[in-house]
A and B are shown apart, each in its own frame.
Chain A
Amino acid sequence: MPLENEGEDWRMLDAQYISPRSVAEAVEALKGGGKDAMVLAGGTDLLVQARTGLRDPRLYVDLKRIPDLMALDISSKGLHLGASVPAAQIFENEDMKALYPGLTEAVDLIGSTQIQGRATVGGNLCNGSPAADTVPSLLVLEAICVIAGSEGERRVPASEFTTGPGETVLRPGEFLVRIEIPAPSKGAADAYLRFIPRTEMDIAVVGAAVSLTLDSSGCCEAASVALGAVAPTAILVEGAASALIGSTLDEAALERAGSAAYEAAQPIDDKRGTAEYRRRVASVLTQRSARMAAERARGRN
């Protein structure tokens, strides 16, 4: 069969592609491309959106060849995670598993094996989905987002990065360079659980991340709780955190945290679940996630 292909099948072939080797080059390229330019990291959201016509970039600026964005550094100061580091590289890293088990598990939940070779935490955050699996974990770990643009670098807490469904603080021409997460203190651990009706290849109906620090007696000194998919952005639930702080994570404290999560959730009814169902599951996952984080934290004291 002849394979001459006069009419190409990929709309993207009409667009331009550029692969800068430094942050500065990327900033220049985006400036030149104007509003029709988009950064391409893993592409696991963007290429699907482009193929279905949801977005129509005329210039793709590939961020996978910039060393700063491809670096994963763990030091005594904490984690510097380049925005374009593929998911597989993160969850296969033993230090990541030991220090940030919740975030690492969240990364492991993104996509199938093939997708994980490309998908990035940076992209998961910048796509702005309320259901993004890594975002609740970034929130409870107090991650800072380092952003580059023509006006230089700026730093924004992960809790302020997403402003609404598909919306972020990124201005035209700006892109995420890396995420910085402080080193966990002694007795600290995190966990993330999501609910999907299937076992994989699905989007969170609810996600719950918990980070907590236990003292040597097993009392909770510090806690942070975040929920995904129950509001226009992932949210920190302070009421749930304060229910845990000062407790020994007994059943009563967990139930109070669960109730706080139930109250804080503002989900909508949609094809992925009813609002009431999501609130109930937010409560359940908050408690399960806290139990799991506590178990890990106990092992570190």
Chain B
Amino acid sequence: MSEKKLKYVGTRPIRHDGVDKVLGKANFGADLNLPGMLHGKILRSPHAHAKIISINTAKAEALDGVLAVITGDDFPPPPSGKGSVEGPQDFGDMARNVMAREKALYTGHAIAAVAATTTRIAEIALKAIEVEYEVLEPVMTLERALAPDAPILHEEMRAKGEEPLPEGPTNVATRTVMGFGDVDEGFSSADVVVEREFTTETVHQGYIEPHAVVARSISDGRAEVYCCTQGQFMVRKYCSKVLDMDPTQIKVTASEIGGGFGGKTVVYAEPVSIVLARKSGRPVKIVMSREEVFIATGPTSGSHIRVKIGVKNDGTITAADATLNYEAGAFKGSPVMAGMMTIFSPYRMDHVRIEGFDVVVNKPKVAAYRAPGAPMAAFATEGVMDELASQLGMDPVDLRLVNAVKEGDTAAYGPKFKVHGFIDTLQAVKNHPHYKAPLGPNQGRGIACGFWFNAGMQSSANVILNEDGNATVVTGNPDIGGSRTSMALMAAEELGIPVDKIRPVVADTESVGYSDLTGGSRVTFATGMAVVEAAKDVVRQLRERAAQTWDVSVDDVEWRDGHAVAMNGHADDHEPLSVAALAGSAAKTGGPISGRASLNARGPGPGFATHICDVEVDKETGRVSVLRYTAVQDVGRAIHPSYVEGQMQGGAVQGIGWALNEAYMYDEKGKLQNPSFLDYRMPVASDMPMIDTVIVEVPNPTHPYGVRGVGETPIVPPLPAVAHAVNQATGVRFRSLPISPPRVLAALDD
């Protein structure tokens, strides 16, 4: 940890990309047009579950203006065997999700695609493609998926981890059990035990910018892709897997991005546009409509969770037990593991058992969504904790304080926690005026806590000193939450160059070293670490140049606030040399100066938050209005406090939407009824009060400036916080989301 007073880190400069974005000059995914470019459109399955018997593209190909029509046959076989699975990604499944092969597994699944000179011709061509389906019964709920007579999505699927392993196929991809101690013993020593079931619906990230891509195929087999994504290197890798290409053959440039929240961490139209470009010989642009975004990109799981917690009369938890069922969508890979690993992690316990099921259903394959899997898990655990507090007659914050994990405590998923500020957030809530403010009639207040791991992973950075003494900071991470300016702030601090004289650049895959995607709350932490190392590399070179200039040892040169300063008895002989002077004379002292760093960042540090929510319930219509909301979070250290607050506010609002009105609504045939922002009811600005934030700073010792991840944790507490506030206002405990007006009114009747 740097102990010196910081000049730039912790200030709030205007973001470097801000003016262009405000003026509409920034280029997003759909903004690129190339000479000769065609427009691609994707034919999507009208059925939620069907065998594809045949596809006839002849009539579409015969249309004037149609230059390419493709189906699954135009792609290499889906990857299988060694190298086809990497972490949570199965590239065979990904290939089938990008373009269906044997079966259509959700309404909206890509079946074929065309490239034509206009979008109108492309749409006419889609209608001319003849597809014969054998329609199968769709599996739209966990209950149906798990029924003994359920239709099977994947004939080869065998509930991995189930004991005994079933002989026939199932819709359960994996069963996992974790825990320690003896829960029966733990519950037997409890004074109060509460066991409840909770459900949440499929919800979408709701990013404003639909997916958009332009691809160009180059004669030697290379491809260039321009798209909106959370990771240009991710797009390169995933396209290479799905299309059986070398990553080096694909260049990916990330556009500006209008939101991702985890939803842009996989590929959809990108490989399709490459294949269309290759077949047509022309650049091809695909821009999804809002409806396509809803029906064909990854939302997050609907869930069913059972939680049982036992406590002593003083509030101490004696045991906890949970079963989690998460919908994965059409292919395995729900975030149930993360749900299991977070569900009890805020609390100390000696006896714990957690069982989880990853279940496939005929909905789009889920993608990451901000702390994937954790919000629904917190909804369940916090709901039981809130009920326990009321049964014990304890303040809900006090019940958490009795059980909150501290440094060195064992997390329910196994390992011991390192230093973090969970208890500090709880104390901040207790001391906050909001927590004690009076409430009016029909109003209620709830609190809830949340935990997320945060990620480190691989990042690269180049810091280039320019001849004017200013610097360019090059990284490989798309800037979603203001990370350019956070990178610039850390570089400014190291170099002593004003932050507005630093130009932060998001580079394409050929202009900077490999960087994992922007996600997992990792960029300010991990990429920031790479920027700091690269800047230190520059400073080391600057000191060497000054030492040469003065003919002293490099140990006699210190770097202070943008100047090389002679030390150890040489101070009187040499005026300090500014970074501009050293940059200007670089040609004479050895040539251009630049620094680089590539690393795999360790020790991101856990994130904890506690939120307070006030609501008012209209008991005649069931409408819930959020009146006041305060988000308290340990962020390690806020590099740019405005963007930290923005993350906390944005996460809170997304969680409130999930709690109150957002839900995928399917009909009995598996067609989505509300694929638009009109009927998929995300909150609008006027629905929300200003979200108050309290930044708690317990520095993360592994980061040079104490950063820990910020972006994901704030979506974890709102689901339960809203439910608890509604409970206090109405006396009704809502354990199923969304807490929509019709449900509230019906519950008040009971």
Chain A interfacial positions (CB closer than 8 Å to B): 1-11, 14, 52-53, 195, 197-203, 205, 270-274, 277, 280-281, 284
**In the bound complex, what is the Cα–Cα distance between A1 and B34 (angstroms)?**
8
CA distance A9 to B121 in the complex (A): 11
Query: Do A7 and B623 touch across chains, with their CB atoms under 8 A apart?
Result: no
Q: Which of A11, A203, A271 contacts B119 (CB 8 A)?
A: A11
B129 nearest CB across to chain A (Å): 16
Among candidates A7, A195, A203, A205, residue contacting B118 with C-beta atoms closer than 8 Å:
A7
The yes or no answer to B745 lying at the interface (CB within 8 A) is yes
Q: Knowing A197-B623, A198-B684, say if A274 contacts B33 (CB, 8 Å).
A: no
Q: Does B661 contact A198, Cβ atoms closer than 8 Å?
A: yes
Q: Can you give 23 contacting A-B residue pairs, CB < 8 Å?
A: A1-B27, A1-B31, A1-B32, A2-B34, A5-B33, A7-B38, A7-B116, A8-B118, A52-B289, A197-B681, A199-B684, A199-B686, A200-B684, A200-B686, A201-B677, A201-B684, A205-B741, A274-B742, A277-B622, A277-B745, A280-B745, A281-B621, A281-B741
A186 to chain B, nearest CB (A): 32
CA distance A9 to B287 in the complex (A): 10
> Contact: A3 with B33, CB < 8 Å?
yes
The contact of A195 among B33, B623, B661, B681, by CB within 8 Å, is B623
Q: Which residues of B contact A53 (CB under 8 A)?
A: 123
In the complex, chain B residues whose CB is within 8 Å of the CB of A3: 33
CB contacts (< 8 Å) of B678 on chain A: these are 201-203
Q: How far is the CB of B470 from chain A (nearest CB, A)?
A: 25
> Within 8 Å CB of B116, what residues of A?
7
Say which residue of B27, B120, B673, B679 sits within 8 Å of A11 (CB atoms).
B120
Give 1 or 0 for each of B619-630: 1 = CB within 8 Å of chain A CB: 011110000000
Most buried by A among B116, B678, B740: B678
A273 to B673, CA, bound (A): 13
Name B residues whose Cβ lies closer than 8 Å to a Cβ of A: 27, 31-39, 116-120, 123, 287, 289, 291, 620-623, 660-661, 665, 673-674, 677-679, 681, 683-684, 686-687, 740-742, 745-746
A79 to B119, CA, bound (A): 45
Give the docked Cα–Cα distance between A8 and B745 (Å). Answer: 49
Chain B at the A interface: mostly helix, strand, loop or mixed? Answer: loop
| Nearest opposing residue in chain B for A8, CB measure | B118
Q: Report the bound CA distance from A8 to B31 in whole Å.
A: 13
The residues of B that contact A271 with a CB separation of less than 8 Å are 665, 673-674, 679
With contact pairs A201-B684, A202-B681, A203-B678 given, residues A4 and B33 touching in the complex (Cβ less than 8 Å): yes
Cβ-defined contact, A14 with B120, below 8 A:
yes
Q: In the A-B complex, list the 4 residue pairs whose CB atoms are closest, starting with the nearest.
A: A277-B742, A199-B686, A284-B620, A271-B673
Summarize A's interface: helix, strand, loop or mixed. loop
Closest residue of chain A to B226, judged by CB?
Answer: A1
User: Could you say which residues of chain A place their CB within 8 Å of the CB of B31?
Assistant: 1
Question: Is there an interface contact between A4 and B745, defined as CB atoms closer than 8 Å?
Answer: no
Residues on A with C-beta less than 8 A from B291 are 52
How many A-B pairs fall under 8 Å by CB?
85
The interface residues of chain A lying within 8 Å CB-to-CB of B679 are 271-272
Taking the closest CB of chain A, its distance from the CB of B689, in whole angstroms, is 11
Q: How far is the CB of A4 from chain B (nearest CB, A)?
A: 5
The residue on B at minimum CB distance from A3 is B33
Q: Contact partner of A9 among B119, B740, B745, CB < 8 A? A: B119
CB distance from B240 to the nearest CB of A (A): 25
Cα-based distance from A253 to B27 in the complex (angstroms): 60
Known: A14-B120, A199-B686, A199-B687. A6 touches B37 (CB 8 A): yes
Nearest CB of chain A from residue B628's CB, rounded to whole Å: 16
Contact A4 B32 (CB under 8 A): no
Known: A1-B27, A9-B39, A202-B681. A197 touches B119 (CB 8 A): no
A7-B38, A7-B39, A281-B621 given; 8 more Cβ-contact pairs under 8 Å: A6-B117, A7-B118, A11-B120, A195-B621, A202-B681, A272-B679, A273-B741, A277-B622
Per the bound structure, the CA–CA distance linking A270 and B673 in Å amounts to 9
Could you tell me the distance in whole angstroms from the C-beta of A197 to the nearest C-beta in chain B?
A: 5
Cβ distance A20 to chain B, nearest Cβ, rounded Å: 26
Q: Return B750 CB to nearest CB of chain A, in Å.
A: 14
Cα A1 to Cα B39 in complex, Å, equals 18
Asked whether A7 lies within 8 Å of B687 as measured between CB atoms, the reply is no
> How distant is the Cα of A294 from the Cα of B646 in the complex, in angstroms?
45
Whether B35 and A4, one on each chain, are in contact in the complex, defined by CB atoms closer than 8 angstroms, is: yes
| A contact residues around B123 at 8 Å (CB) | 11, 53
Q: Are B39 and A197 in contact (CB under 8 A)?
A: no
B119: A residues at CB distance < 8 A? 7-11
User: Are A2 and B118 neighbours in the complex by a CB distance under 8 Å?
Assistant: no
**Nearest residue, chain B, Cβ from A11:** B120
- Complex Cα–Cα for A247 and B623 (A): 30
**Measured CA separation A14–B674 after assembly (Å):** 29
Query: Which interface residue of A8, A14, A203, A271 has the most chain B CB atoms within 10 A?
Result: A271
A270 to B665, CA, bound (A): 10
Contacting pair B742 A273 (CB below 8 A):
yes
- Report how far A271 CA is from B742 CA in the complex, Å: 11
CA distance A261 to B746 in the complex (A): 19
Q: Which residues of A lie under 8 Å from residue B687 when comparing CB positions?
A: 198-199
Q: How far is the CB of A165 from chain B (nearest CB, A)?
A: 16
How distant is the Cα of A246 from the Cα of B150 in the complex, in angstroms?
Answer: 62
- B118, B291, B665, B679 — most chain A CB neighbours (10 Å): B118
Give the interface centre of A2, A3, A8, A277 by most chain B CB atoms within 10 Å.
Answer: A277
A52 and B675 CA atoms in complex are apart in Å by 12
Asked whether B683 lies within 8 Å of A198 as measured between CB atoms, the reply is: yes
Which residues from B are CB-within-8-Å of A273?
741-742
A31 to B357, CA, bound (A): 64
Q: Residue A284 contacts which of B36, B289, B621 (CB distance < 8 angstroms)?
A: B621
